[in-house]
Amino acid sequence: MFFFTSSKLEYDRHNDHEQKQLLAEVFSGVGWEVPRLLDAMSQAPDFYFDRTSRVDIDKWSKGRSVLLGDAAYCGSVGMGTSMALVGAYVLAGELAASTDDHRAAFARYQAEMLGYVKENLKPLPGGVNGFLPRSRRAVWLRNQMIRVLPHLPMKERMTGSMERAASAITLKDYAG
């Protein structure tokens, strides 16, 4: 995956070649494994390019349709898959617990998940700039911090918000 920050880009969303060219320009001269990855990207038959954005919605269901994972609560850096899996478990459990009333199950699913999702959508330390540093020096500093973090005596204090977010839900033991 290639990530970068920019102002709004104008490009043809149906033109893979143009999108690949854009990425090649953005990452030109970066070094390390990037030239090899850009070359592989240029040959890839299953290329996908999109912008990352977030839309907040109040309700994750309407009628017989319900949203799950990124469709309902995207925007987490590093917890998207976990939230989707937990959400699937909770949704399935609530549906099984109320076989005759999907609306009630959908409401309980959202109520069960809401605190967990809100906690996991809080920005990480450093925010977007921590995840996507804007200079080589900042990239180097971020990478060094990731390498030494497991060995620091105060790592729990520094990673506490991430651990708290990951543990912000107590899963029910739904009856089979």
Residues 40 and 62 in one domain: no
Residue 129 φ then ψ, to 5°: -65, -25
Instruction: Decide if 121 contacts 166 (C-beta within 8 A).
Output: no
Rounded to whole angstroms, how far apart are CA atoms 56 and 71? 10
Output DSSP code: residue 153. T
Residue 69: predicted pLDDT = 92
Q: What is the pTM of this model?
A: 0.75
Residues 135 and 59 in one domain: yes
Residues 169 and 126 in one domain: yes
Residues 58 and 27 in one domain: no
Around Cβ 116, how many Cβ atoms within 10 Å? Answer: 23
Domain residues for 151?
A: 54-176
Residue 4: predicted pLDDT = 87
Number of domains in the chain: 2
Chunked mean pLDDT (size 10), the chain, 176 residues: 88 96 94 95 94 86 95 83 95 94 97 94 76 84 86 71 84 88
Two structure tokens written together for 41: 């990207």
Which residue has tokens 């990855």?
37
Instruction: Decide if 127 contacts 120 (C-beta within 8 A).
Output: no
Helix axes 102-120, 80-97, angle to 10 degrees: 160
Instruction: Decide if 112 contacts 90 (C-beta within 8 A).
Output: yes
**How far apart, in Å, are the Cα atoms of 72 and each of 86, 144, 162, 166, 170?**
13, 34, 21, 18, 20
Residue 176: predicted pLDDT = 67
Residues 46 and 59 in one domain: no
Residues 25 and 96 in one domain: no
Q: Furthest-apart CA pair in the chain: how many Å?
A: 60
Residues 97 and 126 in one domain: yes
Residues 124 and 42 in one domain: no
Residues 58 and 143 in one domain: yes
Q: What distance lies between CA 111 and its chain's CA centroid?
A: 21
Examine the fold and report which residue of 51, 68, 85 is the final residue of a domain before the chain moves on.
51
